[in-house]
Amino acid sequence: MKLKPEDLDKIRERMKSTARLREAEGKAKINVHLGTCGIASGAREVLHAFLKLVDETGGEDVIVTTSGCAGLCKREPMATVEIAGEAPVKYVDLDPDKAKKIFEEHIKGGNIVKEYALAVGSERLG
Amino acid sequence: MAKITIDGKELEFDEGLTILEAAKKLQIKIPTLCYNEHLSPYGGCRICLVEAATRAAPERSRLVPACTAPAEDGMIVVTDSDHVLDSRRFIIELLLSRCPESEQIREMAAEMGVGPDSSNLDVVGHYLLHRAPKRESTNCILCSLCVRVCQQIPQRFALSLKERGIGRKVTPPFERVAESCIGCGSCAYVCPTKTITIEEAS
Amino acid sequence: MGNFRFNLLVCAGTGCVSNNSFKVKAALEREIEKHKLQEEIQVVTTGCNGFCANGPIVVVKPDDIFYQLLTEEQIPHLVEEHFLKGRPVEKLMYTPSKGGAPIPKMSDIPFFGKQQLIALANRGLIDPENIDEYIALGGYQALSKALTEMTPEQVIEEIKASGLRGRGGAGFPTGKKWEFCRDASSAKAGSARDGGAGTSPSAQERTSGLALKYIICNADEGDPGAFMDRSIVESDPHALLEGMLIGAYAIGAGQGIIYIRGEYPLALERLNQALEQARDYGLLGEEILGSDFNFDISVSKGAGAFVCGEETSLIGSLEGKLPEPRVRPPYPAQSGYMGKPTNINNVETWANVPHIIKRGADWYSSIGTETSKGTKVFSLVGKVNNTGLVEVPMGITMREIVFDIGGGIPDGKKFKAVQTGGPSGGCIPESLLDTPVDYESLTQAGSIMGSGGMIVMDENNCMVEVARYFVSFTQEESCGKCSPCREGTWHMMNILDNITQGKGQEGDIELLEKIGKHIKETALCGLGNTAPNPVLTTIRYFRDEYEAHIRDKRCPAGVCKALITYSIDPQNCTGCTACAKNCPVECISGERKQTHVIDQQKCIKCGMCDSVCNFDAVRIE
């Protein structure tokens, strides 16, 4: 199939999620914590919820990733949301519905969902 | 008309001449070995190297082969400076080291004051003519005149160069008598060291 | 397209492949399937990452976690820990050689973090066998821009303004070179239609068998140990193709040829695949991207001659003639392949072009130094901790490359020299480590940039042997056309052979210097002009080593076999018999628990005893 210049754009569009993953340059990053405790309390469902939301809304600047246990096992499932240029926000006691709200209000709207948040920023000493 | 200066003498000429051809017009002799006026120039033996500088940068002269370098307007050429003579000596010493028994090379070297018995050999000449490892005897200096003449005059392509580097040699295809050879003798005629001879086929 | 959570980028460059990276990939796929993670995790093979001594390599995106030295057996644990339980596995990560904590993120590892990738921008990120991935990361955008928004003249102006210089070694300004070819008339014999500069060749022209003009990619990469070009072709072949397309448009060439050395089977395979995919998308052929620009590329394999890296010899080889340099003028830009105006550039030069067109000359010329713009790819090898391929901005110092990126000298040895430019180059000693890497500075130091080879040497490298090695290489590769190179390098080699065998004579150093200078001035082409460089620079900076070989018949670095003896130190020897058992000529005698002795008459100096001794009892002097 012989390409026209517009077709190059179409292919880039189609491959957007791959590019996003490879270049890892997102405006927002959702890090779902998947330690044993997290998995046991349903973190995988939270993960899948976020993945579906990103896919459906075509959030091209959002990266969903996972990491190990964040340390606060009692409040799992947990996810840390990092908007570029802002301090990371740790959300606790999550489920797929809460994930949806966080996605719409924080990621898309820019407003932290305070009721689900544990803390803003990283651990402090003392 | 362009103007070139060779060894202080000026020549006006039409574009398209090489330095060697311009020098010939001025009756300035530059030694050659792989050059023949009827064949395409090769630039391989390097014995015709002369110093050339442009009008724009007269102090930045380079060694160029006279047989292939185009004569340019405003060019200043020197064929007998120490630098040129030194380089020429180096080349003839290399060839004499390669073909110590060649009459023609010995003669050319002697004209330049070079020979195994010369008293003025520098450390390079001394090494090349006395210490260098001995090799299988040959008079061929790989000037490729025979190859070129066969390609360009009778156009029979009966000779070519085989192998690269120090093992290079002139040979007919597969080192057997070439089927395309017509026995015209052009190769023997142009060979500067009379390495190629013509024999009666039995 | 499904949303993958992770992309696992498995390096499939030649280095990692020969270390079983495909087996690692298969193991990853198996384990992922076992844990039913196929919908979440995509496994992709990419081209060379550049960190070749630490392969097989897997990079986990988007987190940028770097795993190295992987084996098949480690994969089940890795998959379970990192991808199932979310715990990256520290013991599979990179650890600095000086000790310290493992560094999980690739961009934090100094080897990677200090590089700036332009020609190698896509390395390790995309599957080189999938053109869509190249397009996904912005590929062919530059071509589109050139064809739809720029005239050929504007493209040339942009390349000129960028300051790009030929990356094959000579460093000639690329934009100027393109302009010479564009301006050359191809109205001479062979062409049915009088094209003149700048006319887009038609299909009719191509059926006559000859294009108006040609562009060639020199992928011969002859320097021993150099693999910059191979990496680009294996990891990102489309970068090369896009560069050539843009160049052909600017110059008005209808046909391109890639001359690639025959010893690169993987690169050749990926190249042919890329060409096919590009043709399928109409990016090669007629009316590219809907314009009236027609262009296609053919591939020719080299047959093992270093001299074919010289452009007129390369053309001779393509034409089926003897590969030997031609009389110039005429230059290839006026009369090259089949007598047509031809522009030849190196792989890395072509690979820089799309980036310059996409991001602009201003951006490109902001990188590098006043005279040397942009970045350069170097193969950093030899006695250095982090061996591999690096791309750095021009102007970075040698010290930064060897110590910050390279991680310094292994085994606590002392740095001695960096050899740059391959057989045409020279050595940079410790006193010049702060030399900025750019064309002029390296030439002033007595070396050259060359195509990018950088061999690090330590106290156990003998500089005389290094000179001998390089001269024996150029000697073997000399085409034989001109007397100074053919005969002169042979003599230099003999003199160096003698010196390393203890047969050197007083005056040999001066002899080498004089012969070297003569050859440099009288040889016909770059091979001959530069063949004496390794000798001349090692004499310049390491004269004492030559003197030791000649006067004292001694090799200070302990390398030249004829000048060293192996002996056993009775202080350290425990009589474990390991050396005697492993000696290939059985020249070591001794009872168990008694000091062993080497028979000097029979010893062949192979070094086997030293490598098996656990008590540091073998002395080499």
Taking the C-alpha atoms of residue C235 and residue C266, their distance in angstroms, rounded to an integer, is: 10
- Any C CB within 8 A of B151 CB: no
C492 to chain B: closest CA residue: B132
Domain-located, residue B120: yes
Q: How confident is the model at residue C414 (pLDDT cuts 50, 70, 90)?
A: very high
Which residues, in sequence order, are CB contacts of A68 under 8 Å at separation 6+? A33, A34, A35, C85, C86, C87, C88
pLDDT of the residue at A58: 63
Do B114 and B150 have their domain in common? Answer: no
Does one domain contain both B65 and B104? no
Is the C-alpha dihedral spanning C514, C517, C522, C525 positive or negative? positive
pLDDT at position B8 is 94
Query: In one letter, which amino acid is C368?
Result: G
B7 shares its domain with B76 = yes
Q: Does some domain include residue B196? A: no
Same domain, yes or no, for B164 and B179? yes
Smallest Cβ–Cβ distance between C281 and the set A1, A14, A19 belongs to A1
A70-84, C12-26, C548-562: the lowest-pLDDT one: A70-84
User: How many Å apart are CA C196 and CA C212, to the nearest integer?
Assistant: 8
pLDDT over 90 percentage in chain B = 85
- Quick check: A1 and C282 CB within 8 A? yes
- What are the Cα distances from residue B30, in Å, to B149, C35, C488? 22, 83, 22
| Closest CA–CA distance from residue C485 to any residue of chain B (Å) | 8
* Higher pLDDT among residues B51 and A105, named by residue: B51
**Cis-peptide, bond into residue C173, ω within 30° of zero:** no
Tell whether B198 is covered by a domain. no
Q: Which of C479, C515, C522 shows the shortest C-beta gap to B46? A: C522
In the numeric block, which tokens belong to residue B105?
A: 């090379």
Distance CA(B148)–CA(C533), nearest Å, equals 33
> What does the alpha-carbon distance between residue C49 and residue C55 come to, in Å, rounded to a whole number?
9
Instruction: Indicate the length of chain C as a whole number.
Output: 621
Facing residues of B62 across strands? B52
Domain count for chain B, please give it: 3
pLDDT tens for C417-428 read: 999 999 999 999
C328 pLDDT above the threshold of 90: no
Answer yes or no: do B55 and B98 share one domain: no
B166-193 mean pLDDT? 93
**A53 touching C (Cβ < 8 Å):** no
* Domain range A25-120, CATH architecture: 3-Layer(aba) Sandwich (3.40)
A12 min Cα distance to partner chain C (Å): 4
Q: Which chains touch C (3 or more CB pairs under 8 A)?
A: A, B
Most confident of C95-104, C206-215, C494-503: C494-503
Residue C161 has pLDDT above 80, yes or no: yes
Give the count of alpha carbons within 13 A of B114, CB side only: 29
Find the farthest-apart pair of alpha carbons in chain C and give their distance in angstroms, rounded: 89
**Residue B48 to residue B37: CA distance in whole angstroms:** 14
Element (H, E) at A24: none
Contacts of C323 (CB under 8 A, 6+ apart): C305, C307, C308, C313, C314, C316, C317, C479
- For chain A, list the contacting chains (3+ Cβ pairs, <8 Å): C
How confident is residue C118, by pLDDT bands cut at 50, 70 and 90?
Answer: very high
Spatial separation of the C-alpha atoms in residues A42 and A96, rounded to whole Å: 9
Please check whether residues B17 and B76 belong to one and the same domain: yes
**Which of B88, B38, B41, B92 has the alpha carbon at shortest distance from B69?**
B41
Decide the pairing of beta strands C255-260 and C214-219.
parallel
pLDDT bucket at C112, cuts 50 / 70 / 90: confident
Give the model's pLDDT for residue A26: 64
Q: Are C221 and C228 in contact (CB under 8 A)?
A: yes
Average pLDDT, chain B: 93
Q: 3-class secondary structure for B97-118?
A: HHCCCCHHHHHHHHHCCCCCCC
B75 & B6 share domain: yes
Band of the pLDDT at A70, cuts 50, 70, 90? low
Q: Are strands A79-83 and A28-33 parallel, antiparallel or unpaired?
A: antiparallel
Q: Residue C149 — left, alpha, or beta (φ > 0 → left; ψ -120 to 50 → alpha)? A: alpha
Q: Has residue B156 been placed in a domain?
A: yes
* Number of other residues whose CB lies within 10 A of the CB of residue C63: 21
Distance CA C8, CA A22 (A): 9
* Widest Cα–Cα separation across chain B: 63
Q: Are C194 and C185 in contact (CB under 8 A)?
A: no
pLDDT value at position C194?
31
Angstrom CA distances, C185 to B196, C198, C613, stand at 42, 9, 69
Residues B64, B8 share a domain: yes
CA distance C141 to C137: 10
- Tens of pLDDT, residue by residue over C515-539, are 999 999 999 999 999 999 999 999 9
Least trusted range by pLDDT, from C79-88, C297-306, C522-531: C79-88
Q: Mean of the per-residue pLDDT values for chain A?
A: 81
pTM over 0.80: yes
Higher pLDDT, C203 or C510: C510
B14 shares a domain with B70: yes
Residue B124: which of C329, C480, C515 has the nearest Cβ?
Answer: C515
What is the per-residue pLDDT for C252? 94
Whether chain A lies against chain B with 3 or more Cβ pairs closer than 8 A is: no
Q: Is the pLDDT of residue C403 over 90?
A: yes
Tell me the average pLDDT across B60-72: 94
Kind and range of the H or E run holding B46: none
Task: For C48-63, write each residue's pLDDT tens digit.
Answer: 888 988 989 999 998 8
Tell me, what amino acid is at C221? E
Asked whether residue B200 is domain-assigned, the answer is no
Are C88 and A26 a contacting pair at CB < 8 A? Answer: no
| C266, C234 contact by CB (below 8 A) | yes
If you write DSSP's letter for every residue of C136-181 in order, what string do you get? HTTTTHHHHHHHHH--HHHHHHHHHHHT-B-TTTT--BHHHHHHHH
Q: What is the DSSP string of C476-527?
A: HH--S-SHIIIIIHHHHHHHHHHHHTT---TTHHHHHHHHHHHHHHH-SSHH
Residues B63 and B28 placed together within one structural domain of the fold:
yes
Structure token digits, residue B199 = 């024999």
- CA atoms within a 13 Å half-sphere pointing along the CA-CB vector of C498: 19
Instruction: With respect to residue B114, please indicate whether it lies within any of the assigned structural domains.
Output: yes
Extended strands (E) in B28-137: 49-53, 62-65, 76-78
Q: What is the CATH number for B43?
A: 3.10.20.740
Residues above pLDDT 90, as percent of chain C? 76
Q: Which domain holds residue B170?
A: 145-190
Domains of chain C: 6-109 (3.40.30.10), 131-364 (3.40.50.11540), 375-458 (3.10.20.600), 463-551 (1.20.1440.230), 565-620 (3.30.70.20)
Q: Which of A55-64, C72-81, C91-100 has the highest mean pLDDT?
A: C72-81
Interchain proximity B164–C515, CB inside 8 Å: no
pLDDT tens per residue across span C22-34: 999 999 999 999 9
- Identify the pLDDT of residue A123: 55
d(CA C538, CA C465): 10
A119 vs C: CB within 8 A = no
Residue-wise pLDDT for C241-273, tens only, equals: 999 999 999 999 999 999 999 999 989 999 999
- Residue C312 CA to residue C337 CA, distance in Å, equals 9
Question: Has residue C227 got a pLDDT over 50?
Answer: yes
- Bond prior to C237 in cis (omega within 30° of 0): no
Task: Give the contacts of B19 (CB within 8 A, at least 6 positions apart).
Answer: B4, B6, B30, B50, B52, B64, B66, B67, B69, B70, B71, B75, B77
